[in-house]
Each structure stands twice: as structure tokens, then as C-alpha cells.
Amino acid sequence: MEKRNVLFIYCAFLTLQSICGLHRSLKYYETIHSTHFQHRILKRGIHHSYHPYNRISELEFYSHGRHFRLILTPRREVIHSNFKAYEVNADGNEKTVHLDYTLNDNSEEDDTETDNSSSRVKRQTETYEYTPTKTRCPLLLVADYRFYQEMGASSTKTTINYLISLIDRVHKIYNDTLWQEHQEEDGFKGMGFVIKKIVVHSEPTRVRGGETHYNMVREKWDVRTLLEVFSREYSHKDFCLAHLFTDLKFEGGILGLAYVGSPRRNSVGGICTPEYFKNGYTLYLNSGLSSSRNHYGQRVITREADLVTAHEFGHNWGSEHDPDISVSGSYLMYTYSVSGYDVNNKRFSPCSLRSIRKVLQAKSGRCFSEPEESFCGNLRVEGDEECDAGLLGTEDNDSCCDKNCKLRSNQGAVCSDKNSPCCQGCAYMPAGVKCRDAQYATCEQESRCTGASSECPRSPPMKDGTGCLERGQCRLGKCVPYCETQNLQSCMCDTIADACKRCCRMNLNETCFPIDQQDILPDGTPCIQGFCNKGVCEKTIQDVVERFWDIIEDININKVMRFLKDNIVGAVIIITAVIWIPASCVISYIDHRRVKESEKKWQWKHTDELIHPDEPRQVIYVGGQRQQRIQHVMHQS
């Protein structure tokens, strides 16, 4: 029996700021124009290259009375060696965004599972007995034209960088998770994601009459319909998961939708799923979607966007929703919105760990890939490499590093400009050159090169008491939140009356309380059941889970027994309901009938129309005066 799970998220990870109504969300803000930026490419090789690994950028701007200097380098851990990114126009024509390249992929697709059903059954049995060795879920990320315009500022590269950074943060949540059946038992970890392809739609897709496309011009979409249309794409079958990013505002506060994975062999939905046929279409249900705009028309902030996508991936990997846990905050898979501040907000509950563990053991071997070995050209110095100048270096065009990732020592190179911040012109920078600015967010002072190394020394901590983020203070090199500076713990009040006030608690097991009744959180701040609006925590709509059952196809007693075993609680409830609901109706009917008969009998014996108190016979009115009828009956008797 196959089961397809569809999960709706009526969660509102709501935002502190909005491009549409910035003045309503912030008390003070400054607008940064493009003319305020100083942007330059650093440490470029002899010849220009468009490959992202070779575009290390420095960005400087001045805002809020401070000078910002950012060193921008591409994310590498979540990039597949065969990574490709395309810009797609209205006619569906793809244009490569950067220099296309091909490297050997050490992973192999397990085609035997689709060719031989018996081997599929055997492997399914074995998957419950070993730890997965393929630990990376290759992703297809798709940005529609709305996301491209709003979140990517109509820039393909900006859109791609945003998605890579988002997945990098989500990957860390999954990669650091220990998937275990029980806390006292051993588990496995290191399961995560790798981006294999990104598709960015720069224009709405042109469609013919009667056709439907997920990127077409359309004012409103039903979120279920949108995901179903997106799931028709044939290319999804080549990936572990396909995810659509949009800027649509859905009804009911929906921010995400995903098909739920299952450990059962023939089930559809989630990772590594077989195709599914519906209404004449072939659907690939290894898919999900996320929106960057809530139902109030505001953008979700970065932290909340991360949690939305991580939540959706959690459903794809096989997790259901979690109940509310007050201690340490709600878990990642909680039905309602979470703020991201509590400890549990980025963690999976024990129930989710068990569910996902079963799915990973059963299906990861089908579509996951093995972690890639180090290779020359990924801009990371690994193994016996002395340097790595990226794809530019493999073209033998870098002045410090050759194509074999070795320093050009015969030309006097002692370091690589591409790999070391205190290296310039293949030599160490002089002592005293600033290599890192002060960082108030992390309470770090500026750092300067030593003149004897190509690496930037560790930044010394700022003095204790220096102000940092969220009214916090620097202590021992860390930014301590406001509550902790008062020897309390930061938390979110779980009562509606205090949900939008700044709250602290004495310790982990104590109740949160407002530190100041007048200290109201800004509008849009996440609260216990939604977001703050004028000091009131407005409730968001709960997730709705809709399931599709194919109960006719491929039914046998073994599958029925296994289903009952895997769903013992639900099976007991259903069987009990099937027996007791009809029985209760019958018992209720019999009791009701007996009560009516008893009442009728009592009324008969206590009426004043009896012929004689000792006789059960009663006068029945037929017509005429009462006195005449009584005489008639008595005479008859």
C-alpha cells in the first residue's frame, strides 16, 4: 500500500522589517545607495575568470556611524564538484551564469534499485542494519521570477549567492545532528546537503493557452496547486530534492509546503521517491517550496527564512510535527512558528530524530552521494596541497600557485594570495598591516599581520563592558545578551499577556517573566504563537496535514501487518473506533427505547382515568361528554 503525504505549513516566521513598510517596523534606518559602496575584486590572477571560486571580493560602506569592511568569498562546503547555475528567460532558454566546468564525481547512482525489484527488497531489509555511507543530499534549487526580482534585486548572481548562503546554514543544522533511535544508543551524524544545480528565472515563463507553469504570471496561487505544478518537472528525478523559492504571499499565512518522506519502499513523497501519476501527469514528489513573504506582505528575516527551509527539508526527510515543549523552547518541527532564539529552535526532537533516522537508513542509498574527496581547484588547501587558487589555478594562470596546487617556489612564492589574508604578491605582508577590522557583533578587536606568517592572527577580545548587539555587553570576548548581563537567561514569555514584552528567567526550569512592563518588543518580533503587533501577540494558523492514500493498489496481508506495526497507536485508535462507535449507537438506541417504554408505563399506572385502582384497564376517549363516556365504559364492563 502506498501512501503520499502532503504537509501544509501555516506557520508565520514573521519579520522585523519590510521593504514594503520599513518605516512601520524600524524606529531609525538609513538607506544605502549603490554609490556608497566601494567594491573591488581582490587577489585576482593574471587573467580574468568568471568562475565564482576566483571572485574574492572586498566590500566597504559607511552606515549608522560606522565603517563596514566585508571580505566576501564563495561558499564551498555545500557546492557540488559538478555544480551548475543557469539563468532562464521567458522562453525557457538557459544561459550559464559562470564558467562551466566538469570534475569527476566520485559518487555513483544506484541504478540497480530501479532495474530489479528483488534487489530493491533485499536492500530495503539491509538498510535497517547499517549506517548510511552516502551522506549528501544533492539539491536542485529553483528561484522564480518573483524571488529573483525581490530577494535577488533582479541580479542572478545575487540570487545565487543568497541561496548558497541559506543552504550553507541549513546544512550545518543537519550535518551537526546525531540521528539516533534512543538517547542512550549510538547514532550516526554528518548527513547534509550539497547544491548540484541552481536555476534562476529572470522573467515570467510564457505559456500557451490552457498550459500552466509554476513561473507563469499569475496574481494568486493556491500553494498546493503551485507545488503540484512544480513537481511535474522531469529534471527533478536526477536530484535528491528539488526546492522552489518564491516571493508569493499565500493565503492563511502559509510560508512553506513539502511532501513528507516515508521509510516504506514504494511510498511516494520526500527524498528518493519514485514517480507518481495523477490526472495524466507524472509527478516527482521529492519537492517542496518556501516563500520569502508572509501573509502581511512583509519579508521574512534571514534567520526565519533559514528555519522555514530547514523545516520543509525536515518533512522531506520524513519528520512529522512536534508537540509544544516549553523547556528550552519548541523544536524545529513544531507546528507553530519559532523565533530561532531558544536552544531547541534549531534542533530536532527525539521523535523527529527517530522518524528521519528510519527514512535515511531506508532510502539514502538510492539518491544521496558520498562526500567528495578533496580536489585541486576548489580554493581550499587540503591534503598535500600547498595552495589552491581555484579553477583559475587549474588553468595555470595564477602567479603564486600552479595547476597542481603547489607554490611556485622557483619563482620566489612563499604563500598564495588566494588562500591567505596576510599574503600579497606571493610574499608575507609587513608586520602591522591590518588584516581584520574590529567586530562588535563578536566582541573582537582588529588584528594585524605579524610579518612572519601568511595567516591573520586571532583577534584579541574587546574589553569587558563594551556594548554589543541587542543591548548586550562584551564579556571574555563574547557578546552576552541583555538578560545574561543581569544574571538571568534570555527567553520568550509563554503567556499571551506578556508575549510581546522583553522577558528573562532565573534558570532553565523557571518561568519567563517581563523585566519591564513598558519594554514592548517592536512590531513583527516573533512571539509564542506568531508575531507582535502593537504589543499584542497575534496568533498564526496551525499547520494542516493532508494525506493521500492509495489503498487499492498492491495490498497484501504482510503490508497490512507491517502498517499496523509501524502505526500501532493509530491502528488501535481506528480499530477501537470501528468497534465502539457502532456499539455505542446500538446501546444508546436500546437505552432510549427502554426509557420511553418505562415512562409510558408509569404514566399509565398513575393516571386518574383508570376504571378501578386495582385494574390496569383505562378509559379511552372516543368522543362526547366525559361523564357519558365513563358511564358507557362502566356499563360495558
Q: Which residues are annotated as a binding site for Zn(2+)?
A: 311, 315, 321
The residues near 609 (Cβ < 8 Å, ≥ 6 apart) are: 618, 619
The residues near 281 (Cβ < 8 Å, ≥ 6 apart) are: 232
Q: Identify the DSSP state of 511.
A: P
Triad 88, 89, 92: Cα angle to 5°: 70
Contact 313, 139 (CB under 8 A): no
Strand 287-291 versus strand 241-246 pairing type: parallel
**What is the torsion angle, in degrees rounded to the nearest 10, for the CA atoms of residue 371, residue 377, residue 381 and residue 384?**
90
What is the rounded CA–CA span in Å between residue 98 and residue 391?
12
- Rg of the Cα trace of the chain? 33
For residue 3, what is the enclosing H or E element?
Answer: strand 2-9
For residue 246, what is the enclosing H or E element?
Answer: strand 241-246
What is the rounded CA–CA span in Å between residue 633 and residue 314?
85
Residue numbers annotated as active site:
312
Pick out the residues of the known binding site.
311, 315, 321
Contact 402, 408 (CB under 8 A): yes
Q: Identify the DSSP state of 335.
A: S
The torsion angles phi and psi of 372, rounded to 5 degrees, stand at: -75, 140
Give the full edge-to-edge strand order of the sheet including 503-505: 489-491, 503-505, 513-514
Q: What is the 3-state secondary structure (H, E, C) of 383-424?
A: CCCCCCCHHHHHCCCCCCECCCCCECHHHCCCCCCCCCCCEE
Contact 623, 637 (CB under 8 A): no
> Nearest to residue 540, comparing CAs of 259, 222, 292, 295?
295
Q: Identify the DSSP state of 305.
A: H
Hey, is 164 helix, strand or coil? helix
What is the rounded CA–CA span in Å between residue 193 and residue 175?
8
Helices (H) and strands (E) in the chain, counts: 13, 26
State the DSSP string of 418-471: TT-TTEETTEEPPTT-EEE--BTTTTB--EE--SS-SSPPPPPBPPTT-B-GGG
Angle separating helix axes 117-127 and 350-367, nearest 10 degrees: 140
Give the full edge-to-edge strand order of the sheet including 530-533: 526-527, 530-533, 536-539
For residue 475, what is the enclosing H or E element?
Answer: strand 473-475
